[in-house]
């Protein structure tokens, strides 16, 4: 662990002052340029092209949570089998006349048999009729939407209030148009007396309008108009945002929180968001009304942070239909198993200093373990739950399995503390593509020997959470590296040290030809004063999310020298190995999401 020396610390205020005076003079120019640009925001500066090339949709678990009837496999939300659903629930009826034990079972069955859609809750009686139709005067494709709900005798017009592309996409899907709606234009009211309409609200992921929430609105109101998608009326390619599903939408409608594409691809690669929408730090725009609504919509959780205790579980008017499917969806979610990681048992108030390089105390890094081989601590490691420790592949050899001792709650290995525990190792699993000369895939798992036949627990230890998506943390995020490695001047260290570093983008500029973006990540400080060093290998680089949950973002792997600004520390990018770890330790041990 390389820490800043006092001399360079003294320089810091001077450097900061210089920086300040610079920004003070430079900023107005910068601002003006920005203002000019924002007169007509060209969608291109909202969009992250590198991300777009990854072709994310509502089924990319790197970007969004899967539905509770789906699980994440290789980055894509795929349907569970009906038996994998929670058993708890009420019966629902499908359009094919079949009845299902639960909504979840129907939704997972629908993945295999797309034409068995949700019809109504309760048993199938064979009498119920749900219908969506377009009412139009002329020959053109514009029409007023009419809906016949199973619980009502008559069909009714839909109100314009609350009507938008989210709802229109679902309606057009019901009308047989897989790409959803083209537009929601104003349409003249027909010349008859209509004094009531249906207010409809959807999430946009429904496959039938009857899964949305309906309420009755009395009084003469404007009505909802819709044109379903057709290629000839869609905006030309040069003015359009190209959705992953092939649909073209007006370019200005990307990154506004509204799922215009229908597959959400217009909202998943945004550097910022426009209109009434909220920007998740994962680069996703969600509708503003999802903020502080009690449900985590951003994978990063920022939509439910800093709500000031004002989380308002949306208490909408009661649905006309007997069971509200959005409520049911949330209920199914709440039945899925949960787990706990990355939350310390008690918060220490001792760690006040911002600049790291500090001495750790018991309980500060409850996931940190030490690997003893020979007569010293050879490497660090990270406890991830169960019997499992993650470390760097270059730290361990399968043939030495019996010679490792894993210490938890260790601070100083010269003066051992009482909280200390140790375990022997049962099995060493080195990544099958670990390359000892390039340090690619520098990751290994250690299975600890159980002390008895009981479960494998590590007293005093808390597992670090494992990141399931590379979008959980962004460049410049401040994270913490810790270990027993060498200090400046190659001095040996006996006690656990930690330091704050930030995530560094574009690391190939520092290590041309040696840095592999997909598998590695860089972190450091601008002056290089804080860095991992020899002996820190295998140890954690952890980052905290907005809810103070700690994730293992990197494993100390390599770096040229220690503490040189032109050579930041290189870490194994743990999010890239989430599936690999899950395959060996079992998915349910390491995540509660998308299971």
* Contact flag: residue 533 with ligand ARG (CB under 6 A): yes
Q: Choose which of 485, 528, 554, 582 interacts with ligand ARG (CB under 6 A).
A: 485
Burial category of 477 from C-beta neighbours within 10 Å (exposed 0-12, middle 13-18, buried 19 and up) = middle
Which of 199, 394, 431, 502 is flagged as catalytic?
394
Q: Choose which of 532, 552, 585, 590 interacts with ligand ARG (CB under 6 A).
A: 532
Per rule CB under 6 A, count of chain residues that contact ligand ARG: 13
When CB distances to ligand ARG are compared, the closest residue is 559
Q: Is 186 considered catalytic here?
A: no
Instruction: Please choose, from the candidates 271, 294, 273, the residue with its C-alpha nearest in 3D space to the C-alpha of residue 283.
Output: 271
Beta strands in 386-519 (DSSP E): 388-391, 405-408, 421-430, 444-448, 478-483, 497-504
Distance of CA 4 to the CA centre of its chain: 34
Q: How many CB atoms lie within 10 A of CB 292?
A: 20
Q: Is 537 considered catalytic here?
A: yes
What span, in angstroms and rounded, lies between the C-alpha atoms of 501 and 511? 18
Instruction: Tell how strand 118-121 and strand 497-504 pair up.
Output: unpaired
Distance in Å, CB of 556 to ligand ARG, minimum = 5
What span, in angstroms and rounded, lies between the C-alpha atoms of 575 and 590? 12
Q: Which stretch binds ligand ARG (CB under 6 A): 43-51, 170-178, 455-463, 533-541?
A: 533-541
Q: Is 161 considered catalytic here?
A: no
Distance in Å, CB of 257 to ligand ARG, minimum = 40
Q: How many CB atoms lie within 10 A of CB 385?
A: 23
Q: Choose which of 267, 364, 536, 545 interacts with ligand ARG (CB under 6 A).
A: 536
Smaller CB separation from ligand ARG, 504 or 585: 504
* Contact flag: residue 488 with ligand ARG (CB under 6 A): no
Strand, helix or coil for residue 429: strand
Q: Choose which of 278, 367, 558, 577 interacts with ligand ARG (CB under 6 A).
A: 558
Smaller CB separation from ligand ARG, 445 or 504: 504
Distance in Å, CB of 565 to ligand ARG, minimum = 11
Smaller CB separation from ligand ARG, 231 or 517: 517
Smaller CB separation from ligand ARG, 74 or 489: 489
Which of 442, 531, 536, 545 is flagged as catalytic?
442
Beta strands in 229-375 (DSSP E): 240-242, 248-250, 277-279, 285-287, 358-359, 368-373
Which helix (H) or strand (E) covers residue 232, if one does? none
Q: Say which residues have a Cβ less than 8 Å from residue 418's Cβ, sequence separation at least 6.
A: none
* Contact flag: residue 159 with ligand ARG (CB under 6 A): no
DSSP 159-204: BSTT--HHHHHHHHHHTT-TT-EEE----PPPSS---EEEEEE--S
What span, in angstroms and rounded, lies between the C-alpha atoms of 411 and 364? 10
Q: Which residue matches tokens 């490497």?
A: 379
Cβ proximity of 122 and 90 under 8 Å: yes
Q: Which stretch binds ligand ARG (CB under 6 A): 77-85, 161-169, 349-357, 555-563?
A: 555-563
Cβ proximity of 251 and 266 under 8 Å: no
* Contact flag: residue 534 with ligand ARG (CB under 6 A): yes
Q: Choose which of 556, 574, 581, 585 interacts with ligand ARG (CB under 6 A).
A: 556
Smaller CB separation from ligand ARG, 68 or 528: 528
3-state helix, strand, coil in the chain (%, to 5): 20, 25, 55
Smaller CB separation from ligand ARG, 205 or 537: 537
Binding mask 436-475 for ligand ARG (x = CB under 6 A): ----------------------------------------
* Contact flag: residue 531 with ligand ARG (CB under 6 A): yes
Smaller CB separation from ligand ARG, 290 or 413: 413
Per-residue tokens: 193 = 């007396």
Cβ proximity of 159 and 223 under 8 Å: yes
Smaller CB separation from ligand ARG, 229 or 510: 510
* Contact flag: residue 540 with ligand ARG (CB under 6 A): no
Q: Which stretch binds ligand ARG (CB under 6 A): 119-127, 166-174, 258-266, 529-537?
A: 529-537
Q: Choose which of 4, 143, 356, 569 interacts with ligand ARG (CB under 6 A).
A: 569
* Contact flag: residue 396 with ligand ARG (CB under 6 A): no
Residues that bind ligand ARG (CB under 6 A): 485, 531-537, 556, 558-559, 562, 569
- For the annotated catalytic residues, the residue numbers are 394, 442, 537
């Amino acid at each position: 662990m390389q820490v800043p020396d006092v001399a360079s610390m003294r320089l810091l205020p001077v450097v900061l002052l210089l920086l300040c005076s610079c920004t003070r003079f430079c900023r107005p120019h910068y601002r003006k340029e920005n203002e000019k640009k924002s007169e007509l925001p060209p969608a291109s500066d909202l969009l992250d092209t590198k991300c777009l090339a990854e072709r994310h949709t509502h089924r990319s678990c790197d970007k969004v949570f899967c539905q509770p009837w789906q699980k994440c496999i290789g980055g894509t939300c795929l349907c569970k089998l009906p038996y994998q659903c929670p058993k708890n629930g009420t019966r629902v009826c499908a359009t094919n006349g079949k009845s299902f034990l639960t909504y979840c079972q129907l939704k997972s069955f629908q993945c295999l048999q797309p034409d068995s859609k949700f019809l109504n809750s309760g048993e199938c009686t064979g009498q119920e009729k749900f219908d969506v139709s377009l009412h139009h005067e002329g020959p053109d494709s514009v029409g007023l939407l009419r809906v016949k709900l199973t619980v009502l005798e008559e069909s009714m017009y839909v109100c314009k209030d609350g009507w938008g592309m989210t709802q229109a996409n679902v309606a057009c899907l019901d009308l047989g148009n897989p790409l959803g709606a083209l537009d929601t234009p104003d349409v003249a009211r027909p010349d008859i007396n209509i004094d009531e309409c249906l207010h409809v609200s959807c999430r946009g992921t429904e496959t039938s309008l009857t899964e949305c929430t309906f309420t009755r609105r009395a009084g003469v109101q404007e009505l909802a108009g819709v044109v379903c998608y057709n290629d000839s009326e869609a905006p030309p390619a040069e003015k359009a945002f190209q959705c992953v599903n092939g649909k073209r939408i007006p370019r200005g409608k990307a990154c506004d929180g509204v799922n215009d594409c229908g597959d959400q691809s217009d909202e998943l690669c945004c550097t910022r968001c426009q209109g009434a929408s909220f920007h998740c730090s994962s680069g996703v725009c969600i509708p503003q009304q999802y903020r502080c609504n009690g449900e985590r919509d951003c994978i990063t959780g920022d939509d439910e942070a800093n709500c000031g205790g004002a989380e308002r579980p949306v208490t909408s008017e009661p649905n006309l239909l007997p069971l509200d499917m959005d409520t049911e969806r949330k209920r199914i979610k709440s039945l899925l198993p949960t787990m706990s990681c990355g939350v310390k048992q008690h918060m220490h108030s001792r760690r006040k200093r911002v600049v790291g390089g500090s001495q750790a105390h018991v309980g500060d890094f409850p996931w940190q373990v030490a690997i003893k081989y020979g007569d010293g601590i050879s490497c660090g490691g990270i406890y991830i739950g169960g019997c499992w420790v993650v470390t760097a592949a270059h730290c361990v050899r399968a043939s030495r399995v019996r010679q490792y001792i894993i210490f938890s709650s260790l601070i100083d290995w010269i003066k051992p503390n009482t909280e200390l525990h140790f375990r022997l190792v049962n099995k060493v699993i080195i990544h099958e593509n670990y390359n000892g000369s390039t340090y690619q895939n520098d990751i290994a798992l250690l299975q600890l020997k159980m002390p008895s036949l009981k479960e494998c627990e590590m007293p005093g230890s808390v597992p670090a959470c494992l990141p399931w998506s590379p979008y959980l943390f962004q460049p410049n995020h401040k994270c913490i590296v810790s270990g027993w490695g060498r200090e400046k001047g190659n001095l040996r260290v006996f006690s656990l040290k930690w330091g704050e570093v930030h995530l560094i983008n574009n690391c190939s500029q520092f290590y041309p030809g040696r840095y592999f973006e997909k598998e590695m990540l860089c972190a450091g400080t601008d002056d290089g004063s804080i860095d991992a060093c020899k002996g820190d290998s295998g140890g954690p680089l952890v980052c905290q999310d907005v809810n103070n949950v700690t994730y293992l973002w990197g494993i100390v792997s390599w770096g040229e020298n220690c503490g040189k600004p032109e050579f930041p520390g290189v870490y194994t990018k743990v999010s890239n190995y989430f599936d690999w770890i899950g395959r060996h330790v079992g998915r349910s041990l390491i995540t509660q999401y998308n299971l």
